[in-house]
Amino acid sequence: MALPGISTSSAFLFFFLLPSLIQLLEASSFTFNNGFNGKESDLTRQNGATIDNQSGLLKLTNTSYQVTGQAFYSKPIQMFAKDSTPNKTHQVSSFSTSFVFAMVNPRSRPGGYGLAFTISPSPEFPGAEAGHFFGIFSSSNFKNTPNHIFLVEFDTVDGLNETEDNTGNHVGVSFNEVNSAETKIAGYYPDGTPEEKQHMILDSTDGELICAWIEYDGVEKLLNVTIFPTSLQKKPNKALISRHVDLASVFNEKMFVGFSASTGKTKSSFHYILGWSFAMHGKAKELNFNQLPKLPNQDGTSSLKPQIIALIAGLCALLLMLLVILGYLTLYKRMTKTFEILEDWELDCPHRFKFKDLHTATKGFKDSELIGVGGFGAVYKGILPSTGCEVAVKKITKNSLQGIRDFAAEVESLGQLRHKNLVNLQGWCKKKNNLIIVYDYIPNGSLGSLIFNPRGNIFLTWERRFNIFKGIAEGLLYLHEEYQQVVIHRDVKSSNVLIDSDMNARLSDFGLARLHDHHGEISHTTGVVGTIGYIAPEFARTGKASTATDVFAYGVLLLEVACGKRPIGSGNFILVDWVTECCQMGRLLDVVDPKLGSEFAVEEMELVLKLGLLCSYHKPEARPSMRQVVRYLNGDDLLPVFDGWGTNVESQGEYRLSTRCMEVTSNGTSTSIGAGVSFNSINIGR
């Protein structure tokens, strides 16, 4: 029986097409909220992508080097509007997607490279490479316009062909190629204060959960990308990236949507997707963060049993109650006093800035004033409104316990240090959760950037380099012997040496420094901190820092600047080994930086290279003190004839072992690399 007003043929056609219409709607909208278990057939997975059987987590990569992983929705999506015809201009339909991800670094080495939300004609990418190419592109096709690939990348490593000055901690959008059309440093704009951006670290050792929204308005041709920590619960109104773009030239009629991630040669991370929703012609369904699967423990084991969690929660509640009572009693006692008790580091550096002055100086901590960012904070250029002086303002990341410790350590270390070859600490600011340190602004940047990424008309001649060597040595001599306490820097490297307008060296970044008395034992067991390539073998093995560990790093720095090569290169290249081998063969001058040509004093060059080898010798007792180093550089003493030149290649095996196997040394009882080894720094934000 036909329906009133509807012919039998129309009704038959409707019921015949109904299953296809339902299938089309299902393919255009989907949600994975409580993990991906039981929905394996809905995802096309390639390479290292797996679904955890217990938690339902989608893991794109593990921490192996040079691996990729892809996971795409198995059905293609109709991307063009229905009224698009071969005779009319294609119009991309509006779409929206939301997902929660986490990038977890191993505790013993640097993380990378990142993941990308991807829309492509196919879920398979034959020949794609890892590293910067995200498992999507290769070195032969990463700039091809016909790729028809759209990416929103969450990158934790400096981009392809980018300089050292560019941060890898960014979000970018790419069209048909791996190079981003637009990038922004990772962060979000709180609804209450939308002009003050809160920076975020995309990868971490504790696996912070990050929610991303990618929305495209097909009519306005407006693309919005927003990220925020799931602890915020609600998506901020202001997007991180907002860009007008017509995706009609990028998309085909039908496309696949999904994710791809990769690791690199020396950096790797776990890349997880915890939940995902997608919708065409409307807003994607919001994910319920409380229903998301839990991340596994750092060692790869599953989460604690519910009974144990309940027991821990009960004990925490009891402890919290006791802390509240204790806090009330402490507050009551403080309220009865008429003065504020200052911490030791506040007394050491009495110059306290007003937060509003620093807010004005940095134009509200705008990205345009950002000159560097790291694991525990960002550094801005500022102009003090009261004096007009240029300053560098370091803002410690909120809720970073390690950042708070480094803040106190840096203020305490630099509070009373005064030397022409050290960066001058002007003051500090502490307001609620805002911890800020203010330094002199050094205009020429770091020694490392001038050596490896020179800019402008600044070229480091040999005369300038030799003068810089002397300045660094005099600064370290002051720290080791001339200050009222022994200061061990623990992170001497080329990027921590700043060059002022007179081309003089200024040693910076004292967040890892430690103070000791001049008498008695000055080394003690700590966590292994510093930068790979500069860490002395005995420090990596025992965790005991001493002035000799600074001397070792200084020796590596001498070789780095004289040779124009980094301490560790691709393959098995280690700078100290290479210079030692050339010295052994009587070809020491073959290692000189080619950019110098023949414009250098041979005697000075040989002195610097041999002194670098002597300072970086594997036995700490054989290294000179910084006072001896200064005398050698000034010509007051002759460099001793060192009988280790011929055997140093073999003995440096200990150095090579400690450099390449930092993860193994972390298993010892006296060392701890818990904060993660980084080619930038361990345990410290830059």
- pLDDT above 90 covers what percent of the chain? 53
Contact in structure between 299 and 270 (CB atoms under 8 Å): no
Q: Which residue has the higher pLDDT, 611 or 530?
A: 611
Class of domain 344-440: alpha beta
| Beta pairing partners, 649 | none
Domain borders along the chain are 35-291, 344-440, 447-665
Which CATH number does 35-291 carry? 2.60.120.200
DSSP of 366-420, one letter per residue? -GGGEEEEETTEEEEEEE-TTT--EEEEEEEPTT-HHHHHHHHHHHHHHSS---T
Q: How far is CA 378 from CA 37, 327, 373, 444, in A?
A: 40, 32, 4, 18
Q: Which of 158, 406, 440, 491 is catalytic?
A: 491
Distance CA 505, CA 470 (A): 9
The answer on pLDDT for 679 being more than 60 is no
Count of other CB atoms within 10 angstroms of residue 450: 24
pTM attached to this predicted model: 0.57
Strand partners, 528: none
Q: In 3-state terms, what secondary structure has residue 355?
A: helix
Average pLDDT of the segment spanning 635-640:
94
373-414 pLDDT, tens per residue? 765 678 899 999 989 999 999 887 665 555 566 666 666 666
| pLDDT of amino acid 656 | 57
Check: CB of residue 490 under 8 Å from CB of residue 463: no
Share of the chain above pLDDT 70, in %: 76
- Residue 101 φ/ψ, nearest 5 degrees: -135, 165
Locate tokens 């939301």: which residue? 98
| Collapsed DSSP state (helix, strand, coil) of residue 506 | strand
**The domain defined by 447-665 carries CATH number 1.10.510.10:** yes
H helices of 523-601, where?
Answer: 537-542, 547-563, 575-584
The whole-number average pLDDT for the span 137-152 is 80
Establish whether 491 is a catalytic residue.
yes
Summarize pLDDT for 543-599 with one digit per residue, the tens. Answer: 888 999 999 999 999 999 999 999 998 888 999 999 999 999 999 999 999 999 999
**Quick check: 264 and 112 in contact, CB under 8 A?**
yes
**If DSSP codes are grouped into helix, strand and coil, which group holds residue 684?**
coil
b/e 93-123 (16+ beta carbons within 10 angstroms → b): bbbbbbbbbbbbbbbbbbbbbbbbbbbbeeb
> Which pLDDT score is estimated for 469?
98
**Distance (Å, rounded) from C-alpha 290 to C-alpha 661?**
39
The mean pLDDT value for 121-149 works out to: 85
**Measured distance CA(208)–CA(514) in Å, rounded:** 30
- Average pLDDT on 147-159 reads 88
Q: Characterize 526-557 residue by residue with b for buried, 16 or more Cβ atoms within 10 angstroms of its Cβ, and e for exposed.
A: bbbbbbbbbbbbbbbbbbbbbbbbbbbbbbbb
Please provide residue 377's backbone torsions phi and psi, each rounded to the nearest 5 degrees: 170, 170
Two structure tokens written together for 519? 């008498």
Residue type at position 398: K
User: Contact 111/266 with Cβ under 8 angstroms?
Assistant: no
Tokens of 337: 């006093």
**Alpha-carbon torsion, ordered 229, 233, 237, 238, to 10 deg:** -10
> DSSP characters for 90-132?
--BPPEEEEEEEEEE--TTS----EEEEEEES-S--TT--SGG
